Structure 1
Amino acid sequence: MTIGKLELIIKINELPNNVETNKDNWKTFELDCDGRVVSVTVKPKIWKKLEDAAANYPMWVAAIGGKMGESTSNGFVL
């Protein structure tokens, strides 16, 4: 069997409003992707880029990519 690699890209055009910060200052938030809830954790540097884009560009789109992680009750972890 040929082995493949599953990677996902989620596009957003507004900052999430349900953001939590962990002890290392990483940001965790959930996104609703067509009824599936995706839990995303990003480094502080990435979060700063998202904030800057939202503040400076009225029509911005961000692409968040990663591997599909563990399943949750209503989605998965990215």
Structure 2
Amino acid sequence: MITGKLEVTIKINELPQAITVENGWQQFEIDCDGRIITITVKPKIWKKLTDAAKNYPLWIAAIAGKLGQQTDSGLVLDEPNIQVFERKPKEATATQGAA
């Protein structure tokens, strides 16, 4: 048997409501199919999300991390990392031409 690393990736396209916890860290929750995932990030990582919401009309963020402690309604995501991507809108002309 070999050992592996289990990570979870959550994709979002809206800025979640966050609360400030100690040292400026931001904590927010995401509902993933009825399970509430609690995420706490450094101010630098939170800025990635707020900048995307401010600068891109369409964007998507991939939040990856380790499975953490279970809570009553879900779990905590440990060591979260966020990657943000600008989404390009699908061209309406190409869609209309195919129909």
Into which bin does the TM-score normalised by the smaller protein fall?
Answer: over 0.9
Identity %, equivalent residues? 62
Could you tell me the TM-score, scaled by structure 2's length? 0.75
Q: CA deviation at 1:4?
A: 1.4
- The structure number with the bigger radius of gyration is 2
Secondary structure in 2 aligned to 1:20? Answer: strand
Q: Quote the residue 1:21 is aligned against.
A: 20
Gaps of 5+ in 2: 78-99
Could you tell me the TM-score, scaled by structure 1's length? 0.93
Runs (4+) of structure 1 exceeding 2 A deviation are none
Q: Quote the residue 1:69 is aligned against.
A: 68
Q: Which has the higher contact order (CA 8 A, sep 6+)?
A: 1
Secondary structure in 1 aligned to 2:24? Answer: coil
RMSD after superposition: 0.8
Count of aligned pairs between the two proteins: 77
Specify which structure has the higher proportion of helix: 2
Secondary structure in 2 aligned to 1:3? Answer: coil
